[in-house]
Chain A
Amino acid sequence: MEKYINEIISPKLQGDGGWIEYVSFENGELTLIFRGECSKCLILHRCIDWIESEIKKNLKKEVKIKAIRKKPYFQDV
């Protein structure tokens, strides 16, 4: 799961100025930190749904993502 997040999902989010970090995967709950533009995205839930569906499609696993937004200290614009 960690490899999948780092190698498959992460580069895609980076392409939009986002950033994702794997934290843990326990009992079907995948905890991820969202940084960069993801940290303040108004529609992050849509992206999370997409990641869950990609995991289901590619890893054949049902996961529930717990998203932690880590906002840096700069002006939200």
Chain B
Amino acid sequence: MAHIKVVRRSMRPEEWTDLRFGWLKRHIYNEKWEIKNLQIRDARQTDEMKFEYYSADYRPLKQGDMYFTPDGTAFIKADVDIPDNLKGKELWFSLKTAAEICVKVNGKYIGGVDPNRERMLLSPYVNTNETLHFDMMGYNRSKPDDERNPESLSVRGCRQIFEGAYICTVNHAVQRLVYDFELLLDIAKSELFNEDYRAFLNKELNNAMNFINFESDELAGVDEAKKYIEDVIFANDTYKGCGDVALVAHSHLDIAYYWRRIHSVQKNLRTVLIQLRLMDRYPDFKYTHTQPYTYETLEKYYPDVFEELKVKVANGQFEPVGAMYVEPDCNVPNAESLIRQCLYGQKTYERMFGKRVNNAWLPDVFGNSWVLPQILKKSGVEYFVSNKMSTWNDTNRFPHNNFIWRGIDGSEVYACVPPTHFITWNMPSQIQENWEAYIDKDSGGQTLNMFGYGDGGSGCTEEMIEMMNRFDKLAVMPKCTHTGGAEFLEKNLKNNKNLEVWDGELYLEMHRGTFTTKSYIKRANRRLEEKFRMAEMLCVLKNENKTAEITELYKKFLINQFHDILPGSHIHPVYEDAMRDYSEIEQALDKIIGTGTKYFNSLNFKRNALTFVENKNGTATRYGKKGNWIVPDIPALSGKNLRKTAYNGNWFDFDDNNLETEYYKVKFNPDGSMASLYDKELSREWTNGEFNKLKIFVDCPGNYDAWDILPNYREKEIKVKIASPLTLVESDSESLTLGVTLVTEKSTWEMLIRFFRRSRGIEVESNVDWNEKHKLAKVEFNCNVLTRKALCDTSAGFIERETHRNTTWQQARFETCHHKWCDLSESGGGVALINDGKYGVGLLDNSMSLSLLRATERPDVTSDIGKHSFLYMIVPHKNDAVSADINRLALQYNTPLIKADCEWSLPTFEPLYLQAIKKSEDGKMTVIRLCEQDGTRGTIKLPSKVKLLNMLEDIEGETDIIEFKPFEIITIGI
């Protein structure tokens, strides 16, 4: 039964002030003249700038009408003749809406209205003596928990009620007073400020309000109230605050999330347009905007607005920040992808504005790989900004805000993890909160406070700037300085000897599910990263100039690494868009790669690991295709014809779940897990508990469904039954495959386990019909290894992660991101786990649990439902992972052999790994990127001199001896 608690008491003085404040706001408009001849045409966007319409023509739009449709765009128009009594006055257009509307008048974009602002200035941009042709384009905005402005709740949703559109004049005296009250009431209600000062404010705001006669038609007393506030409240300096806060205007724009990428074109237009108009009114206002990709869409589709933007960039008001092409996920992309984010981002800024930026601006990404500092440093980036570790960590307080971040190779960048969220509305309480949360008060200089609405763009409002212009009047506030992004970073971090160093990855203690959610996207990303490498290499070797085509493909690929696409935290249509993009990119890359007569080893070391080579007459099967397992034995960067080796001996024995091969004696459990894996060669047992054991856990994070895995996810495990027990499925002279089918109530899981005559590797192929909800599938390996650390591949070197749970820092890292492999070893040997597209792994004591599939429901109810096939390979080995060449094995495992007829005439650059070879962006050089991944140091003598380049392909020197250190990425030009 519903129960409403009834409280009977008199109104408190501060509530009386609040009530009158509401009355005061009703008087902001002097005059409101309704536009009554509006017409609307409903549509739905199908592609960038393409729409399908619900009707052939427009229909009238009146107050009280429903407007907007699910995922709808509405085109609204009217020809407006301004009434004589309004002509010559400062005129505003007002439309209260939950949609995102860009407004064009007489062919020129004038501004925008959205849930965060209901009016825009008309006067300076139109001639009120002319008929004004209004053309509006609005996108329905329905993401429910992104609604920052409670006043727009009544009109939000995919079907909204139209409340009318008006031409207005503003009573600036009232508006100024409203801003004063807004500011002071925020302080009065915030416990972050001095209690006595708040009591003083409550008393004096009441006194100020007492000047106003709400019964009088002309609202007498507004000027007196304003004067009282100036003389009594702003003049008070008894209560002194402290702190030094830099206020940086910014709007976060998710390129895709609860909306498709096609919608971000208009979201960006609206955001930019509104900021440009604010700059017109407030010449001191500066705004930072990220993502060169968004600038490209503006340039392409709205060139007039882009030209305005360029003017504001030139005069310093509009500041491009963020070297990366988009704000990518910084866990799953490999090093080369992150380099390309910087390369194409910086090149775009350079082309548009004649300059690069010196910062990476990634406020919302879900943690940052340890490979980043080196990549940033070598891409002209000195400063790194990312917010989430300070505000979203669920276990530990990240110990720095302004600091130096040292990368895996020892490179250092200045870093700022601002103390509070990247979306704020510049209220005193938010600024005070920022200052109080700021850890580096004594060493870091100012603290960074970003303000501006975001996620779907929108940005700053007049109100935020008006607040900011009053902060100096308040002794109780921290000192506030409105500044640009780069200006803040250079002022406070550059050459700051007091900054402390964080040496390690920037792990986010949240969103740990994003390493696994949407398995197909992760797998496609991995596969295409390799195909780009191959395509660029073959273009160089075949002397084909396809740089422009590859750049376009790369950019499309990089967009899909955006931090709500690749991590899987998006609605279903975004997933469909991504898969369509991947398919188009893959087809184009396959065409560029082509084929040949010989198998080509694109790796710069001898390819000696057993490899599956597709052949329709083959005697083995993998991923449903016939072929043969062959040791290619192809020298580095060479081609060769391959033949299946003849072998007629009996190389294995399988009986009653016991298997013996050249390398192992294995005792299986009926479900395909191994009760014992005895290594005949090394005379040791590898299992110590469940090994290759499929486990499916109930995975209900409760809130951030696609994002999070909770630390207690292991508490509830669902039963996995055996539908068909382990049997020998297939064998030939090189491989044998054992198969088992496991089932839950809703899913079927075929596990094919392969052993080889000439490889220590044990490959497991899973073919899954996955129909679960809120489940996490993992495969666990409890190894007979005593160690307190695991090694995890980062794609450009390995990171050591502790496997114990001694402190909260290890406890929080119960699920981490790795790339191609992870490994648990003691000095004599260990077990490596190599994958072909899985990124999440749990490491605890002697166990590794590889995350295979999730089944989340929000934001996409169908996430990961369907058929999946994937591989991992268990590699028990002698010595440690480096000595056992796990890097080389993993690279071979993830680099399919292709046929190509080409010659390599350059050195092989061993022992470095050939990460990429491409034509330089200017077409004048061949660019070669080499990566040290084994943690060693050394030199390579070259036959002739090469250019030393940074990652933006600038020449920085010349050498014929490459000196390298652990985990260094070196770029040379020939």
Where the two chains meet, the residues of A that have a C-beta atom closer than 8 Å to any C-beta of B are: 11-19, 35-37, 40-43, 46-47, 49-50, 72-75, 77
Given contact pairs A36-B858, A72-B857, A74-B858, A16 touches B702 in the complex (Cβ within 8 A) = no
Q: Is the CB of B701 within 8 A of A74?
A: yes
CA distance A22 to B801 in the complex (A): 48
Q: Which residues of A contact B429 (CB under 8 A)?
A: none
B141, closest chain A residue (CB): A16
Q: Is the CB of A35 within 8 A of B71?
A: no
- Determine how close the nearest CB of chain B comes to the CB of A55; give it in whole angstroms: 14
Q: Is the CB of B701 within 8 A of A15?
A: no
CA distance A1 to B857 in the complex (A): 26
Q: Is the CB of A15 within 8 A of B571?
A: yes
Q: Is the CB of B571 within 8 A of A17?
A: yes
11 A-B residue pairings within 8 Å (CB atoms): A15-B260, A17-B143, A17-B571, A17-B859, A18-B70, A36-B857, A36-B860, A41-B157, A46-B66, A49-B159, A73-B700
Interface string of B843-882 (1 = CB under 8 A from A): 0000000000000011111100000000000000000000
Q: Does B44 contact A (CB under 8 A)?
A: yes
B573 touches which one: A15, A73, A75 (CB < 8 A)? A15
CA distance A40 to B858 in the complex (A): 12
A72 touches which one: B144, B573, B861 (CB < 8 A)? B861
Given contact pairs A15-B260, A42-B157, A72-B857, A47 touches B144 in the complex (Cβ within 8 A) = no
- Determine how close the nearest CB of chain A comes to the CB of B450; give it in whole angstroms: 22
Q: Which residues of A contact B144 (CB under 8 A)?
A: 37, 40-41, 77
Q: Does B259 contact A (CB under 8 A)?
A: yes
Given contact pairs A15-B260, A77-B144, A35 touches B861 in the complex (Cβ within 8 A) = yes
Q: Which residues of A contact B573 (CB under 8 A)?
A: 11, 14-15
Q: Which residues of A contact B44 (CB under 8 A)?
A: 12, 15
Q: Is the CB of A46 within 8 A of B140?
A: no
Q: Does B798 contact A (CB under 8 A)?
A: no
Given contact pairs A41-B157, A46-B157, A16 touches B703 in the complex (Cβ within 8 A) = no
Q: Is the CB of A73 within 8 A of B159?
A: no
Q: Which residues of A contact B70 (CB under 8 A)?
A: 12-13, 15-16, 18, 47, 50
Q: Which residues of B contact A74 (CB under 8 A)?
A: 700-703, 705, 857-858
Q: Which residues of A contact B72 (CB under 8 A)?
A: 12
Q: Which residues of B contact A50 (CB under 8 A)?
A: 66, 69-70, 159
Q: Which residues of B contact A46 (CB under 8 A)?
A: 66, 157-159
Q: Which residues of A contact B366 (CB under 8 A)?
A: none
Q: Is the CB of B571 within 8 A of A73?
A: no
- Determine how close the nearest CB of chain B comes to the CB of A18; give it in whole angstroms: 7
Q: Does B312 contact A (CB under 8 A)?
A: no
A-B contact count, CB below 8 Å? 92
- Determine how close the nearest CB of chain B comes to the CB of A65; give it in whole angstroms: 14
Among the interface residues B572, B701, B705, B773, which one has the most CB atoms of the partner chain A within 10 A?
Answer: B572
Among the interface residues A15, A36, A46, which one has the most CB atoms of the partner chain B within 10 A?
Answer: A15
The list of the 5 closest CB pairs from A to B, nearest first, reads A15-B71, A46-B159, A12-B70, A72-B857, A77-B145
Q: Which residues of A contact B858 (CB under 8 A)?
A: 36, 72, 74
Q: Which residues of B contact A42 (CB under 8 A)?
A: 157
Among the interface residues A16, A40, A75, which one has the most CB atoms of the partner chain B within 10 A?
Answer: A16
B260, closest chain A residue (CB): A15
- Determine how close the nearest CB of chain B comes to the CB of A32; give it in whole angstroms: 13
- Determine how close the nearest CB of chain A comes to the CB of B152; give it in whole angstroms: 13
Interface string of B52-91 (1 = CB under 8 A from A): 0000000000000010011110000000000000000000
- Determine how close the nearest CB of chain B comes to the CB of A33; give it in whole angstroms: 10
Given contact pairs A74-B857, A74-B858, A16 touches B142 in the complex (Cβ within 8 A) = yes
B773, closest chain A residue (CB): A72
Q: Is the CB of A72 within 8 A of B572?
A: no
Q: Is the CB of B71 within 8 A of A36?
A: no
A39, closest chain B residue (CB): B861
- Determine how close the nearest CB of chain A comes to the CB of B653; give it in whole angstroms: 49
- Determine how close the nearest CB of chain A comes to the CB of B599; give it in whole angstroms: 44
- Determine how close the nearest CB of chain B comes to the CB of A13; give it in whole angstroms: 5
Given A15-B260, A43-B159, A73-B702, 15 additional A-B pairs, CB 8 A: A12-B72, A15-B259, A15-B573, A16-B143, A17-B859, A18-B70, A18-B158, A36-B858, A37-B143, A46-B158, A46-B159, A47-B157, A50-B159, A73-B700, A75-B703
Q: Is the CB of A13 within 8 A of B71?
A: yes
Q: Which residues of B contact A13 (CB under 8 A)?
A: 70-71, 158
Q: Which residues of B contact A77 (CB under 8 A)?
A: 144-145, 703
Q: Which residues of B contact A11 (CB under 8 A)?
A: 71, 573
CA distance A41 to B90 in the complex (A): 40
Q: Which residues of A contact B600 (CB under 8 A)?
A: none
- Determine how close the nearest CB of chain A comes to the CB of B520; give it in whole angstroms: 17
Interface string of B229-273 (1 = CB under 8 A from A): 000000000000000000000000000001110000000000000
Interface string of B681-715 (1 = CB under 8 A from A): 00000000000000000001111010000000000
Q: Which residues of A contact B703 (CB under 8 A)?
A: 74-75, 77
B705, closest chain A residue (CB): A74
B153, closest chain A residue (CB): A42
B45, closest chain A residue (CB): A15
Interface string of B357-397 (1 = CB under 8 A from A): 00000000000000000000000000000000000000000
- Determine how close the nearest CB of chain B comes to the CB of A63; give it in whole angstroms: 17
Q: Which residues of A contact B861 (CB under 8 A)?
A: 19, 35-36, 72
Enumerate B132-175 residues with CB–CB distance to A below 8 Å. 140, 142-145, 157-159
- Determine how close the nearest CB of chain B comes to the CB of A71; give it in whole angstroms: 10
Q: Is the CB of B705 within 8 A of A72?
A: yes
CA distance A73 to B158 in the complex (A): 23
Q: Is the CB of B158 within 8 A of A16?
A: yes
Q: Does B774 contact A (CB under 8 A)?
A: yes
- Determine how close the nearest CB of chain B comes to the CB of A4; give it in whole angstroms: 14
CA distance A47 to B156 in the complex (A): 12
Q: Is the CB of B159 within 8 A of A47?
A: yes
CA distance A17 to B158 in the complex (A): 11
CA distance A61 to B313 in the complex (A): 56
Given contact pairs A46-B157, A47-B158, A73-B702, A17 touches B142 in the complex (Cβ within 8 A) = yes
Q: Is the CB of A17 within 8 A of B66?
A: no
Enumerate B569-594 residues with CB–CB distance to A below 8 Å. 571-573
Q: Which residues of A contact B158 (CB under 8 A)?
A: 13, 16, 18, 46-47
CA distance A19 to B703 in the complex (A): 18
CA distance A41 to B572 in the complex (A): 18
CA distance A13 to B774 in the complex (A): 22
- Determine how close the nearest CB of chain A comes to the CB of B141; give it in whole angstroms: 9
Q: Is the CB of A16 within 8 A of B159?
A: no
CA distance A74 to B858 in the complex (A): 8
- Determine how close the nearest CB of chain B comes to the CB of A3; give it in whole angstroms: 18
Among the interface residues A14, A47, A49, A50, which one has the most CB atoms of the partner chain B within 10 A?
Answer: A14
- Determine how close the nearest CB of chain B comes to the CB of A40; give it in whole angstroms: 7
Q: Which residues of A contact B773 (CB under 8 A)?
A: 72
CA distance A35 to B369 in the complex (A): 35
Q: Which residues of A contact B157 (CB under 8 A)?
A: 41-43, 46-47
- Determine how close the nearest CB of chain A comes to the CB of B373; give it in whole angstroms: 35
- Determine how close the nearest CB of chain B comes to the CB of A34; give it in whole angstroms: 11
- Determine how close the nearest CB of chain A comes to the CB of B704; give it in whole angstroms: 8
Given contact pairs A11-B573, A16-B158, A17-B142, A75 touches B702 in the complex (Cβ within 8 A) = yes
Q: Which residues of B contact A75 (CB under 8 A)?
A: 702-703
Interface string of B722-737 (1 = CB under 8 A from A): 0000000000000000
B862, closest chain A residue (CB): A19
CA distance A12 to B72 in the complex (A): 8
Q: Is the CB of B700 within 8 A of A16?
A: no
A15, closest chain B residue (CB): B71
- Determine how close the nearest CB of chain A comes to the CB of B973; give it in whole angstroms: 46
Q: Is the CB of B859 within 8 A of A16?
A: no
Q: Which residues of A contact B143 (CB under 8 A)?
A: 16-17, 37
CA distance A43 to B153 in the complex (A): 11
CA distance A63 to B959 in the complex (A): 78
Q: Is the CB of B159 within 8 A of A14?
A: no
Q: Which residues of A contact B571 (CB under 8 A)?
A: 14-17, 36
